[in-house]
Amino acid sequence: MCIRITGTGRSLPENFMTNDDLAEIVDTSDEWIKSRVGIERRYIVKNETTTSMAADAALKAIENAGVSPLDIDLIIVASVTNDKVTPSTACQVQDIIGAENAMAFDLNSACSGFVVALNTAMAYFKAGIYKKALLIGAETLSKIVDWSDRGTCVLFGDGAGAAIAEADESVMTGLVQGTDGIRGKALDMDGMPINNPFVKNEISGSGLFMDGQAVFKFAVKIVPKCVNKLCEDNNIDKSDIKYYVLHQANSRIIQTVAKRLGEPEEKFPVNVHKYGNTSGASVPILLDELNRDGKLVKGDKIILCGFGGGLSWGAALIEW
Ligand code: UT7
């Protein structure tokens, strides 16, 4: 019981980059990227920001849900690429969309961020604190990737996805989430160094580091574990699940997870070829595509699952 998604939206930058465009910057090829990761292109901002895309996706989700911004009592933005330290992206979105009655905050759980935001809303709903949440995953990863590292710069893209979630006692819901900070260095990036009257540090120019194989192995192990636990906890069979909406990092991860779960690949929608890895934005962008393509029917059971930096994971069972 407790959470139902009633509207979704997405926002992508105007500008996109193909694999051939990237091959002009680093030593890579369309063939390598397509066969190893499944990506054909990704959107990269020129004029958009994390905040502008978050607000755009939010307004679309609000319209899709048919709610007023004034009815929203909680806004959570999941992001690792906020434009400002303060105000939070969520507070800036609150201002842009006029959601005066909401409590707004950001959450950093990298690629699991949107699902962890959904799970956070679920907990608030269960506690009876809030009833209508705007949940957003928004990223401008192009700000933080190392554009000289072919191992990472070909993977990521910019974008935002949003959902309106409402408290609803009549639906089945469940969550599983966790972190393994001990192995966190597999996906690593420094923040601002200390610079004060006592300590002087150079600002280093290096971007995001990823031990791709370590993260790959982690992903194909943790996602089936989350799915099995959700099914067990909620006493349902995998055959009851219509779609597994997984974080879009690599089409090979999704295929391996499908195989390990013994589930048909058709139940695992994929859009990584169009957007690349948009971190916390990938799950809500995919959900919005499914919703707007009319692929979700009232009563459908769906499992959402994010995994990545932290290392972290979050999965939710929801009923449409
Ligand atoms: O969103 C957060 C979660 N992230 C993930 O889930 C990502 C998980 N990891 C992966 O998806 C994969 O590990 C990658 C796509 C990142 C890499 O694929 P891989 O099959 O693990 O490749 P690799 O890192 O083992 O590299 C294989 C080879 C290396 O060359 P050598 O040493 O065999 O000569 C790399 O230098 O491919 C080379 N390589 C490239 N070649 C052409 C690495 N990147 C590229 C590139 N173009 N862009």
- pLDDT at residue 1 in the model: 55
Q: State whether the beta carbon of 32 lies less than 6 angstroms from ligand 1.
A: yes
Based on the residue annotation, tell me whether 111 is a catalytic residue of this protein.
yes
Based on the residue annotation, tell me whether 247 is a catalytic residue of this protein.
yes
Mean pLDDT of 284-303: 97
Q: Whose CA is nearest to atom 20 of ligand 1?
A: 36
Q: Whose CA is nearest to atom 43 of ligand 1?
A: 151
Tokens of 184: 């966190």
pLDDT tens for residues 158-214?
A: 999 999 999 999 888 999 999 999 999 999 998 888 889 899 887 776 789 999 999
Taking Cα atoms as reference points, which of 56, 314, 250 lies closest to residue 160?
A: 56
Cα(154) to centroid of ligand 1, in Å?
Answer: 10
pLDDT tens for residues 139-152?
A: 999 999 999 999 99
pLDDT tens for residues 109-149?
A: 999 999 999 999 999 999 999 999 999 999 999 999 999 99
Q: State whether the beta carbon of 239 lies less than 6 angstroms from ligand 1.
A: no
- pLDDT at residue 300 in the model: 97
pLDDT tens for residues 21-63?
A: 999 999 999 999 999 999 999 999 999 999 999 999 999 999 9
Q: Whose CA is nearest to atom 28 of ligand 1?
A: 151
Cα distances (angstroms) measured from residue 122 to each of 10, 39, 166, 169, 185: 21, 33, 9, 11, 29
Mean pLDDT of 221-229: 98
Residues 2, 91, 153, 247: which is the catalytic one? 247
Q: DSSP characters for 83-125?
A: S-SSS-HHHHHHHHHT-TT-EEEEE--GGGHHHHHHHHHHHHH
- pLDDT at residue 193 in the model: 85
Q: Whose CA is nearest to atom 48 of ligand 1?
A: 150
Within 10 angstroms of residue 317's Cβ, the number of other Cβ atoms is: 25
Within 10 angstroms of residue 222's Cβ, the number of other Cβ atoms is: 21
Based on the residue annotation, tell me whether 277 is a catalytic residue of this protein.
yes
Average pLDDT, the chain: 96
- pLDDT at residue 206 in the model: 76
